[in-house]
């Protein structure tokens, strides 16, 4: 069997591999959106074209690869042109691979796994016919800084070790059955896969798995991205959980899971943030102030009755009472105008914005 030399880029029989091989181009085009642009060298005979297309489950992508000898390279020049924003996990199923990154060179045997970070140079060499499952996901989902991820790359995660003895079979099985799953089930499986990827990373770093800490580490960065997206699109009347989920390449179900333990839901957060912005605008003292209905529409409210009801529920008074109290000079500090209803509200914001509101109004003690 013809093999690729790990050092010279030549075949084992001494012949030089072509610098550009047209049979490698379909593989390069496959890897580019899945992981990042790469350069691929193949042996002879020419590489077989990819037999399967990637499978996308929300923000998680999977590819079951079966091919002959090849070397996948991510060079500084390719990184400069496209830095990439995804992390890859390979699960070797047959054949033996050699992975080089961050000063480490490791052998990945069948049944084992390893992390690859396309934001830095790497080389993945398959010296014989092989089969491999490739998973990729945005690095932000892992919640790991570059310094920590650098410690994970090119480290063989052995199947016989815990939790890999459970995690690796799950990832292999996911690649086999995910195409038959309905969309909702596939998205839920993607969430489970990410949890397993994080656990595998913890094990490789020698850290004890901590269920709560792992969950926070995975979800916190994405949750912050969602909150930022909501703030930027508050004025859009079409802002909805479906649109938010689609913009972040996750399912609506997983979006709602992100907010578990946050004390609110996606819909309530959007409504609360809109009311906060309306309240700040109605509290301004200007010669030519916009009408209440104009302010409501500006922040995404299309129904006046719904706006008035939501405003009073969150800030404790009607929009008109709120505006009058501020025009008369009352309530500019701490929103004391809410004394009209005997309720208090800690917005924890100044007129310049920022921060988070404390929650719904609370009744003062008599």
pLDDT for res 203: 73
Decide if pLDDT at 345 tops 60.
no
User: Mind giving me the DSSP string for 80-127?
Assistant: HH----EEEEEEEEES-EEEEETTEEEEE-TT-EEEE-TTS-EEEEE-
**Average pLDDT of the chain to the nearest whole number:** 77
pLDDT of residue 21: 64
Average pLDDT, stretch 163-176?
86
| Angle (nearest 5°) at CA 236 between 267 and 274 | 50
Q: What's the rounded mean pLDDT across residues 169-189? A: 77
Look up residue 136 and give its two tokens: 């990729």
User: Helix or strand or coil: residue 61?
Assistant: strand
Find the mean pLDDT for residues 10-16: 43
* Percent above pLDDT 90 for the chain: 36
Q: Please enumerate in sequence order all residues whose Cβ is within 8 A of that of 224, keeping only pairs 6 or more positions apart, or say none.
A: none
Question: Which comes out higher in pLDDT, residue 45 or 158?
Answer: 158
What is the arithmetic mean of pLDDT over 99-107? 94
Residue 269 binned pLDDT confidence (cut-offs 50, 70, 90):
very high
Q: What is the mean pLDDT of residues 212-227?
A: 66
**The two three-digit tokens of residue 63, written as one number:** 């590819």
How do residues 241-254 score in pLDDT, each as one tens digit? 988 987 876 767 77
Residue 95 has pLDDT above 80, yes or no: yes
**What does the radius of gyration of the chain's CA atoms come to, in whole angstroms?**
27
**pLDDT tens-digit readout, 15-59:** 434 445 688 889 999 999 999 999 999 876 667 778 778 888 877
Q: What number of other Cβ atoms are within 10 A of residue 91's Cβ?
A: 27
Lowest mean pLDDT, pick from 56-60, 236-240, 301-305 = 56-60
Of the given ranges (49-63, 140-154, 267-281, 334-348), which has the lowest mean pLDDT?
Answer: 334-348
Structure tokens at 160: 């016989």
| Contact between residue 143 and residue 217 where contact means Cβ atoms under 8 Å apart | yes
Scan for tokens 């047209």, then name that residue.
22
Q: Mean pLDDT over residues 188-209, rounded?
A: 73
Q: Is 133 helix (H, G, I), strand (E, B) or coil?
A: strand
Is the predicted pLDDT of residue 364 greater than 60, yes or no?
no
Confidence of residue 70 (pLDDT cuts 50, 70, 90): very high
Taking CB atoms within 8 Å and a gap of at least 24, the contacts of 202-205 are: 203/157, 203/161, 203/162, 203/163, 203/164, 204/115, 204/152, 204/155, 204/157, 205/148, 205/151, 205/152
Answer for the pair 308, 268: CB distance below 8 angstroms, yes or no. no
Cβ partners under 8 Å of residue 64, min gap 6:
52, 131, 133, 175, 176
The pTM assigned to this predicted structure is 0.55
């Amino acid at each position: 069997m013809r093999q690729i030399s790990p050092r010279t880029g030549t075949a084992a029989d001494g012949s030089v591999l072509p610098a550009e091989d047209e049979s490698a181009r379909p593989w390069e085009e496959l890897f580019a959106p899945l992981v990042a642009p790469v350069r691929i060298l193949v042996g002879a005979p020419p590489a077989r074209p990819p037999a399967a297309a990637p499978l996308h489950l929300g923000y998680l992508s999977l590819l079951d690869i079966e091919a002959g000898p090849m070397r996948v390279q991510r060079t500084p020049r390719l990184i400069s042109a496209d830095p990439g924003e995804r992390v890859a996990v390979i699960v070797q199923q047959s054949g033996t691979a050699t992975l080089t990154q961050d000063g480490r060179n490791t052998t990945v045997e069948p049944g084992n796994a390893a992390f690859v970070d396309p934001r830095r140079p790497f080389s993945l060499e398959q010296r014989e016919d092989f089969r491999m499952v490739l998973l990729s996901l945005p690095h932000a989902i892992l919640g790991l800084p570059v310094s920590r991820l650098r410690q994970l790359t090119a480290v063989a995660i052995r199947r016989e070790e815990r939790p890999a003895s459970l995690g690796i079979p799950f990832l292999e099985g996911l690649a086999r059955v995910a195409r038959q799953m309905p969309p909702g089930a596939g998205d839920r499986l993607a969430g489970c896969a990410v949890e397993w990827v994080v656990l595998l990373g913890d094990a490789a770093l020698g850290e004890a798995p901590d269920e709560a800490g792992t969950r926070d580490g995975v979800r916190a960065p994405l949750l912050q991205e969602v909150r930022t997206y909501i703030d930027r699109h508050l004025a859009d009347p079409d802002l909805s959980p479906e649109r938010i989920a689609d913009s972040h390449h996750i399912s609506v179900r997983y979006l709602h899971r992100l907010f578990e333990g946050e004390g609110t839901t996606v819909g309530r957060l959007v409504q609360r943030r809109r009311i906060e912005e309306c309240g700040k605008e109605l509290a301004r003292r200007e010669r030519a102030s916009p009408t209440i209905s104009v302010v409501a529409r500006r922040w995404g409210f299309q129904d006046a009755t719904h706006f008035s009801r939501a405003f009073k529920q969150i800030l404790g008074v009607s929009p008109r009472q709120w505006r009058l109290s501020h025009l008369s000079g009352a309530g500019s500090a701490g929103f004391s105008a809410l004394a009209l209803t005997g309720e208090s509200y800690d917005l924890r914001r100044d007129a310049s914005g920022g921060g988070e509101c404390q929650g719904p109004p609370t009744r003062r003690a008599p």
